[in-house]
Structures are given as structure tokens and as C-alpha cells.
Chain A
Amino acid sequence: MTSIEDTEIIELFKLSKSKEKAFEILVKKYQEPLYWTIRRIVISHEDTDDVLQNTFIKIWKGLDKFKNQSKLFTWLYRIAVNEALTWINKNNKKIQYDSEINDNLINKLEADVFFDGNEIEKKLQKSILSLPRRQQMVFNMKYYQHLKYDEIAKILDISIGSLKASYHLAVKKLEKYLLSD
């Protein structure tokens, strides 16, 4: 299940003398993929930086209890996604509808100094942000991060059938948005 390298990291983490060193290795290994998972959900670099730190703090506190029943990276991704969604909900407390939250994220994209995509990239990102949250996450993980359906299913805890349907719907909607205007 868990790759040998991840297994070694976990074993070293359990020993108090090598705990911090093991964790540093873990951070260096997973910081980038987790960063991009989070960034595509919360959009701004500043927010991503905060959420990524919170994610690794949660991992530090919970890694002792990780039971090897799933791959380590699935567990890490799941924490990252949950932290990102918690962040969005916390910063949009008074907002009832997902569509309003999406509008806020689109505004963030426009205002973010760390986004300098061309017009087509901007239009694509705005289109993705117009999708329902689950379809956004499925699309980003499949299209941009090239994760497999079974991996995404474990991260998001939904069936492969639902995933494929979500992805298919997302692609159809994006085609429609991008071809309009």
C-alpha cells in the first residue's frame, strides 16, 4: 500500500530522536503537490501559504496515528483539501450560496498579484470557478494534477462512478463557457 520511502518516513517519525528530521523530509517531499491542490481551491497565494502551514501542523499532530490503511499521500491530500474547504467556509461565514462564494473567489483571482495568466487562462480559471465546488476539485485534480480516478475517489471519499460523472459534466460546462462570448 504505502511506498517504501513513505514507510521509512513514518517509522523515523515514530522515534523521538528522528521525529523532526523525518517530518522535514515529509514537508520537502509533499509541499509542492499539496500547495497546488490548495491553491486551486483558495486561489490566492497568501491564503494558500496559510492553509498549507495549517495542513502540515495537522499532519504533524496526526501522523503518529496514521495506520497505513491507505497510501500516505491520499491521507495528506485529504487533510489539505479539508483545510482548504474549512478556510473558504470560515472566510465566507455570512454567505449562504456556493455561487456567491465562487464570485468572491473570482474577484480574488482578478485582484491576486500572483496571477498573471493571459486572457484565455483567466477565462478558463473563471469558468472553473463557476462550477459547483465538487466539480471544480475533480476537474483540477484530474486535469491539472493528473491524479487517477481511484486516487481522487479516496481523497474526496466519493465513488469512482460519481467522479467520472462529475468530470464529464465539468468538461461539458467548461466547453460551453469558453465557447460563449
Chain B
Amino acid sequence: MNKNGFKIPDNYFDHFPNKVMSRIKAEKKKKKTFQLSVISSIAASVLIVFLSVYTMYKQEDKNEDCQLSEIEYFGIEMNDVYDICENTNSPIPDLEDTEIIDFLDNDELNYEWLIDE
């Protein structure tokens, strides 16, 4: 085909539609892959945020468990309490009544600071 000197290859227009349709199919595939990667990125971000918040929440819980009143742990400094919290995986275990009584029966304990309060 020749138009005023401008030529085109033989059968160009017979093959052109297939060329375009192949490109369109490739574009559709690219679009699907992109959409999947966006969804994965969003899901990963949500998971990271959730884990961060969850970890922070758990850390705060641990600290609250360690804030026990002085009256329950006679003779034990607050620093000792935090040391215990740091070194154990669980909050300070509950003491049996008999254990508390045995501890209080200990003559070496100094109660003066308690009376002053």
C-alpha cells in the first residue's frame, strides 16, 4: 500500500489487531499482579501495626503486675520487686497464707517504718 509516497509493510493491517490484543492481555495481567501486591502490602502493614500494638500492650500489663503495694511485701524494696519482674516470665506468684504467716513470724523483720507510716 502506498499513499503519496508513504509505504507500509505488506499485510500490516491484517496482523495489527493481534498485536494490540496481545498487548492488552499483557496489560491486564500486569494490572492483576499490581493489585495483588497492593493488597499484600496493606495486609502486611496492618499485621505489623497490630503486632506492635499487641507487644506494647503486653509490656504495659507486665509493668502493672509489678506495681504491688508495699504492704504486701514487707521488707522487700520496690527495686527488688522490679528485679523479680525482670527475671521471671510471669507475674509474682501468689503467696500461700501459711507462707505469709511464717514470714511475719520472722523476728528479724523491722516493723518500725510501718508504724511510722
Interface residues of A (CB under 8 A from B): 20, 23-24, 27-28, 31-32, 35-36, 39-40, 45, 49, 52-53, 56-57, 60, 114-118, 121-122, 124-125, 144
Contacts and interface: CB of A to CB of B under 8 A. Distances in A.
A contacts with B: majority SS: helix
A39 to B, nearest CB: 6
Contacts of A31: 13, 16-17
Contact of B24 (A45, A60, A116, A124): A60
B20 interface: yes
Nearest to B22: A53
B19 A53 contact: yes
B19 A114 contact: no
Contacts, number: 60
Interface in B1-17: 2-9, 13, 16-17
A118 B3 contact: no
A144 B4 contact: yes
A23 B4 contact: no
A52 B5 contact: no
B5 A20 contact: no
A42 B13 CA distance: 18
